[in-house]
Amino acid sequence: MELLNRIRIVMVNTSDSGNIGAAARAMKTMGISDLVLVEPKEFPTAKATARAAGAADVLYQARVVPTLDEALADCQMVFGASARMRTIPWPLMTPREATQFVLNEPEGASIAIVFGREDAGLTNEELRRCHYHICIPGNESYGVLNVAAAVQVICYEMRMAVLAQQQAETGGAPAAKPVMPLEITDWDEPLVSAEDMERFMKHFEETLLDIGFFDPNNPKQLMTRARRLFMRTRMDRLEMNLMRGVLSTVQKRLKGE
Amino acid sequence: MELLNRIRIVMVNTSDSGNIGAAARAMKTMGISDLVLVEPKEFPTAKATARAAGAADVLYQARVVPTLDEALADCQMVFGASARMRTIPWPLMTPREATQFVLNEPEGASIAIVFGREDAGLTNEELRRCHYHICIPGNESYGVLNVAAAVQVICYEMRMAVLAQQQAETGGAPAAKPVMPLEITDWDEPLVSAEDMERFMKHFEETLLDIGFFDPNNPKQLMTRARRLFMRTRMDRLEMNLMRGVLSTVQKRLKGE
């Protein structure tokens, strides 16, 4: 169950505090307790506490932060829950597929799952901050889950995966062997945090400006594509040092140093 | 999806009509629409309609009946959702296990899934009316899901099972879909070939030489690490053009072009 302690639920800009309470309850029933709220419209409220029922402790311990950056700063893996199709496809998976990635995270890695606004979900900007997008395969004609219901389904899948793995380890039924998407188990270097990743993307963009590089056909999408590329690699610290070293060296050479 | 049309959700003696609305929404998002209410404490209400959101149609079509008998009369298979342990053990399964029973029902059979009161669940008498009990494996210290959240989880499992079966029947795809390292299906650009990848790595190495970059601690491993980083991204053609454009621009700037 140690893995469940490393999962953080992040709710962005939630309008109805009842949904925050319901999400806290959904989390606790599945053994997940780290809740971070980015700019909730109303919180705390009596309504949230009522809907949390026996999970008031999760609600009281919830942190309220002003930006998504702060919510994700110390996380190595970021999922975004998304119902909408985007213009640039992002690595997309069902909650069940996502569990395989989570099970393969190295020990100690923190995992964030980000949920958007009740009416509009996550912005494209916010979705680009995620390594992967999770989509609950819903009804084509009306597939929009309530945000707390989506938290329940995804936390349930995470718990089911952990239980299946435990069962397999303790000699129970042979569980489906976890797929190793990026062979990230037994990695030799710690993975970078979301904060480090943002600094790298900023450094990359600066360097592109310094060298005067832009994609004449699609200037706006350039950084989005670059971000998608680097996000999905899950860089480790040595790799990031290497890449930042390259960028810094390019910048120095341009100044004639 | 025909199977989903044969699943009925039965809610017994619900106190809070908000939960009825939320259950209607949970059902509709998963493609299930047959809702029967046994002696709800309050219904219909504005609260229920508000919580149903885009699933008002499910709510309007819901039947209100005075007894569980009436709700179940034409059903061939009855599941009861139960969180509590009973003195007499009953065939008990997780939602995922239950889907296997549902998939094996003969064509045309109607399946009911019964949910109890917010505070006390189903009585022993009601539970004995069920063929099987479904238990969502929750947190030992607090595993009580909100009733609408439980409806969401169980309807989600039913839909996932139907989708997996469809996929197996149509595409011949294995029921357990192999998780691709990155859901590269439906990507917007074709992935690069091994040959392109080699050219890119060579270009990257040349550029590092041009800028005079090397890792003083580990010169040999530098390219190995860079290769591991870029190999595992599975670059597409547009991403590679972008990266090679960056490298070429750096090379030009160094020559003062």
Does an H or E element contain A20, and which? Answer: helix A17-29
Q: Do A88 and B139 touch (CB under 8 A)?
A: no
Q: What is the pLDDT of residues A206-216, one digit of tens each?
A: 999 999 987 66
Of the ranges A149-163, B40-54, B124-138, which one carries the lowest mean pLDDT score? B124-138
Listed in order, the ranges of chain A carrying CATH 3.40.1280.10 are 2-169
Residue of A92, A131, A132, A142 to mutate, interface with B, max B Cβ within 10 Å: A142
d(CA B50, CA B32): 19
ipTM, interface predicted TM-score of the complex: 0.83
The CATH number that domain B194-254 falls under is: 1.10.8.590
A182 has pLDDT over 60:
no
**Cβ-contact A137, A94 below 8 angstroms:** yes
Q: Do A54 and B142 touch (CB under 8 A)?
A: yes
Q: Choose among A31, A233, A250: nearest Cβ to B229.
A: A233
Average pLDDT over chain B reads 86
Average pLDDT over chain A reads 88
Average pLDDT over residues B227-240: 83
Of the ranges B38-42, B131-135, B162-166, B184-188, which one carries the lowest mean pLDDT score? B184-188
Q: Do A245 and B212 touch (CB under 8 A)?
A: no
Q: What is the pLDDT of residues B91-144, one digit of tens each?
A: 778 999 999 888 887 777 889 999 999 999 999 888 878 888 899 999 999 999
Q: Do B31 and A139 touch (CB under 8 A)?
A: yes
Using CA coordinates, name the residue in chain B closest to A204: B246
Listed in order, the ranges of chain A carrying CATH 1.10.8.590 are 194-254
Q: Choose among A138, A156, A179: nearest Cβ to B178.
A: A179
Does an H or E element contain A48, and which? Answer: helix A46-52
The predicted structure's pLDDT at residue A172: 60
Most confident residue range from A101-110, B36-45, B88-97: B36-45
**Is residue B196 exposed (0-12), middle (13-18) or buried (19+ Cβ within 10 Å)?**
middle
The predicted structure's pLDDT at residue B185: 45
**Cβ-contact B110, B76 below 8 angstroms:** yes
A50 has pLDDT over 50:
yes
Task: Outline where DSSP puts E strands in A1-150.
Answer: 7-12, 34-38, 63-65, 77-81, 92-93, 111-115, 132-134
d(CA B164, CA B162): 5
Average pLDDT over residues B22-35: 98
Residue by residue, DSSP assigns B219-257 as HHHHHHHHHHHHHTT--BHHHHHHHHHHHHHHHHHHTT-
Architecture of domain B2-171: 3-Layer(aba) Sandwich (3.40)
The pair phi, psi for residue A109, each rounded to 5°, is: -70, 140
Q: Choose among B31, B159, B225: nearest Cβ to A238.
A: B225
The CA R_g of chain B, rounded to the nearest whole Å, is 28
Does an H or E element contain B58, and which? Answer: helix B56-61
Cβ contacts of A206 on chain B, cutoff 8 Å: none
Rounded to the nearest angstrom, the minimum Cα separation between A71 and chain B is 25
Q: Which two tokens stand for residue A182?
A: 């990026």
Q: Do A233 and B232 touch (CB under 8 A)?
A: yes
d(CA A83, CA A138): 9
Rounded to the nearest angstrom, the minimum Cα separation between A176 and chain B is 9
Using CA coordinates, name the residue in chain A closest to B246: A213
Within 8 A by CB and 6+ apart from B254, the residues are A253, A254, B210, B211
Q: Do A249 and B213 touch (CB under 8 A)?
A: yes
Pairs across A and B, CB distance < 8 A: 169
B13 has pLDDT over 50:
yes
Q: What is the pLDDT of residues B170-226, one digit of tens each?
A: 875 443 333 334 434 456 777 777 778 889 999 999 999 999 987 666 666 788 888
The CA R_g of chain A, rounded to the nearest whole Å, is 20
Cβ contacts of A148 on chain B, cutoff 8 Å: 149
pLDDT band for B60, please (50, 70, 90 cuts).
Answer: very high
d(CA A181, CA A177): 12
Does an H or E element contain B37, and which? Answer: strand B34-38
Least Cα distance to B234 among B187, B202, B199 occurs for B187
Q: Choose among B26, B137, B245: nearest Cβ to A149.
A: B26
The pair phi, psi for residue A176, each rounded to 5°, is: -55, 130
The predicted structure's pLDDT at residue A233: 80
Q: Do B54 and A253 touch (CB under 8 A)?
A: no
Least Cα distance to B38 among B55, B58, B13 occurs for B13
Look at chain A and count its residues: 257
A121 has pLDDT over 50:
yes
The predicted structure's pLDDT at residue A118: 95
Using CA coordinates, name the residue in chain A closest to B154: A153
Listed in order, the ranges of chain B carrying CATH 3.40.1280.10 are 2-171
Q: Choose among B96, B179, B249: nearest Cβ to A181.
A: B179
The predicted structure's pLDDT at residue A181: 39
Cβ contacts of A208 on chain B, cutoff 8 Å: 246
The predicted structure's pLDDT at residue A95: 96
Average pLDDT over residues A39-49: 97
Q: Do B156 and A153 touch (CB under 8 A)?
A: yes
Architecture of domain A2-169: 3-Layer(aba) Sandwich (3.40)
